[in-house]
Amino acid sequence: MSACPKCGYELAPLELECPRCRREETQKQVLSRLSPDLLGPGKSREQPPSRAELVAEGTTVGATYGALALILIMLVDRYVFHATVQQGPSLLALLCISAPAGVVLGALVGLAVSLRRAPVAGIVVGALLLAVLRGMGLGAPGNGDVGILTWVGGLVYGGIFGAAVATVVLNVLRQAR
Ligand SMILES: [Zn+2]
């Protein structure tokens, strides 16, 4: 016959866990889950969201909108400005690269904008990142030649991308507050 080390309850021969302590533990968990509502309905909801929550939301919104924005920019670049270039990436390849790249770029722009609360932060981050990505060959028109124009193009597209994502993120954050 052994006893519970915490409360001294005498355990039955086959019991591994003290039933008294387990019941108390369960009650505590249920209470802690209910307590926000017990403290008063609507009380927690009226509080403004914390800085961390806003930054998280800005990053999420940036990632979502970033994917759309980068696909749009890449499509315009492909079909308007390089319409005569035959050996560019296929439409499918373009979408497969732009969507995940847009999610990552958008998340970073969203993060920068949420932290700095200024659209210029998003423009700078977007411009630099897209210039680097284009320098690495994203959406490069054929045979992988990466010249100064590719970098400048990346800066311009990235700036537009950053401004667009920053505008949306700031709007969402303003409404969330
Ligand atoms: Zn016990």
**45-93 residue pLDDT tens:** 557 778 899 999 999 999 999 999 999 988 888 777 766 655 566 788 8
Query: Hey, CA dihedral for 43, 46, 52, 56, is it positive or negative?
Result: positive
Q: What is the pLDDT of residue 55?
A: 93
pLDDT digits (tens, 9 = 90+) for 1-17: 688 888 988 888 888 88
Query: Hey, CA dihedral for 80, 85, 91, 94, is it positive or negative?
Result: negative
Query: How many A from CA of 12 to the centre of ligand 1?
Result: 12
Judge whether 7 and 20 are in contact, CB under 8 Å: yes
Q: Show Cβ contacts of residue 82 under 8 Å, excluding neighbours closer than 6 positions.
A: 88, 141
Query: How many A from CA of 28 to the centre of ligand 1?
Result: 14
Query: How many A from CA of 31 to the centre of ligand 1?
Result: 19
Total-model pTM: 0.65
Query: How many A from CA of 65 to the centre of ligand 1?
Result: 53
Q: Show Cβ contacts of residue 22 under 8 Å, excluding neighbours closer than 6 positions.
A: none
Query: How many A from CA of 6 to the centre of ligand 1?
Result: 5
pLDDT digits (tens, 9 = 90+) for 131-153: 888 777 665 555 455 567 777 88
SS3 168: helix
Q: What is the pLDDT of residue 109?
A: 96
pLDDT digits (tens, 9 = 90+) for 24-47: 998 888 888 776 655 555 545 557
C-alpha distances out from residue 23 to 6, 8, 18, 33, 131, Å: 13, 15, 9, 16, 60
Which amino acid belongs to residue 56? A
Domain ranges for the chain: 1-42, 48-176
Judge whether 169 and 125 are in contact, CB under 8 Å: no
Q: Please tell me the distance from the alpha carbon of residue 38 to that of residue 131, in angstroms, as a whole number.
A: 52
C-alpha distances out from residue 123 to 46, 108, 164, Å: 33, 11, 8
- Strand-pair partners of 151: none
